[in-house]
Amino acid sequence: MAEQTVTPAAAAAPPAEPAPPARSRFRLDGAFFRDNGVYLALVVLVVVNLVITPHFATTGSLRLQLVQVAPIIVVSLGMALVIGTGGIDLSVGAVMAMTAAVIPLYLGYGFIGALLAGLVAGLVSGLLAGTVISRVRVQPIIATLAIMVGGRGIANIVGGEIKSIRNDGFRELGSGSVAGIPWVVLVAVVVIVAVWVLMTRTTFGRYLMAIGGNARAAELAGLPVARVLTTVYVLSGLLAALAGVLLVARNQASDPTRLGQLVELTAITAVVVGGTSLSGGQVRVLGTVAGALLMQLITFTLVAHDITNSVAQMVQAVIVVLAVYAQVGTRMRRRSRA
């Protein structure tokens, strides 16, 4: 946290903490664009779409966008927590697949039973990743890469082919709504608020950022580093599983082979585009949400104008690199200025 970024977290911090000096002077420099670029880009893209995309501003279209982006937001927030610790979680897609594989097996126990079974898959996977990373100190990328491949295999073995889900609970969750707001979106909103509270109002959030800033220092200061790290990976696993549940509910089907493929990349992109640094020490909750919305809107815009999926993928790849480059670039420039 050496750098003085005005994160939503910092802005909402208790008044006991003095505001970082960068806040007092408003400067339209690289750092400003790095911290707020995602919101600007989102606004610009919305305006562009209002002009060039027919039927963009209809309720149906907006609703569809939100329903589609909701699971991505949920996964991305878990990823944001992990990245805040300086780690990475490549296993989220496989966790979603495992959740999808488990759900049909426990439908006999009703909606709640199947839902819990799905979440347990995420819990176990996150616990394994967290333990190996925090206690044995294996690099996060390798530990979660192993789970990514192994988990997808387990999902295929357990789940097999695509199965349709016939259950009132899942149908309601996937396509029902309260007061006009789809359940899926509501779940995402609850997760956003919960993660925001976790990061801004709890000791756990402070510990998480301290560990991401400097794990060694955090350890020497007596913080429960291993426990916090394990919990973070468990949370990421649980949120990925929840996203899997939402997707299964929305599709009314479980497809362990395809569900969640390349989601890890989309989630990482959302987090990075949202202004969270890959080197850890900071978690931008609202930025991540905006990042997920932005990526969804970019894909939508391309597809709505008959640009194929493959090109959309390439565009996404370029955006990832540019977003990370912009971050590393401004940080380097700032360091050289100081």
Partner 1 sequence: MSTTATPEPTLTPTGARPQRVQLVQRVQRQGALVVLVLLCVYASFQFDTFASGPNVRSIALQASFLAVIALGMTFVIFTGGIDLSVGSVFALGGVLAAWGSQHGTAVAVLLPLAVCGAIGLVQGLVIAKGGLAPFIVTLAGLLFARGLLLFISDEGATVYKVPAGSAFRGLAQNSLLGINYPIWIVIVLFLIGGLVLHRTSYGPTVLAIGGQEDAAQLMGLPVVRTKVLTYVASGLLAGLAGVLIASYTSSGVPIIGVGTELQAISAVVLGGTLLAGGAGTVFGTLVGVLLLQVIANVINQVGSLNSNWQDVVSGAILLGVVVLQRYLAGTTRR
List residues binding partner 1 (CB under 8 A).
88, 132, 136-139, 141-143, 145-154, 156-157, 262, 264-265, 268, 272, 278, 308-314, 316-318, 320-321, 324-325, 328-329, 332
- Alpha-carbon distance 32 to 292, whole Å? 20
Q: Which is nearer to partner 1, 113 or 153 (CB)?
A: 153
In angstroms, what is the minimal distance from the CB of 17 to partner 1? 30
Quote the least distance from Cβ 92 to partner 1, whole Å: 13
Least Å distance between CB 52 and partner 1? 23
Burial class (CB in 10 A: 0-12, 13-18, 19+), 47: exposed
Q: Which is nearer to partner 1, 159 or 174 (by Cβ)? A: 159
Residue among 62 and 321 whose Cβ is closer to partner 1? 321
Q: At a CB cut-off of 8 Å and minimum separation 6, what does 69 contact?
A: 188, 292, 293, 296
Smallest distance, Å, CB 118 to partner 1? 19
Is 101 or 253 the residue whose CB approaches partner 1 more closely? 101
Least spacing, CB of residue 21 vs partner 1, in Å: 27
CB of 237 to partner 1, least distance (A): 15
CB-nearer residue toward partner 1: 200 or 299? 299
Question: 41 or 273, CB closer to partner 1?
Answer: 273
Residue type, 267: A
What's the number of CA atoms in the CB half-sphere (13 Å) around residue 208?
26
Please report which residue ranges of the chain form alpha helices under DSSP H.
8-11, 30-52, 59-84, 92-102, 110-134, 140-159, 168-175, 183-201, 203-213, 215-220, 225-251, 263-273, 285-304, 309-337
75-85 in b/e burial notation, b at 16+ Cβ within 10 A? bbbbbbbbbbb
Q: Which residue has the tokens 């690199």?
A: 321
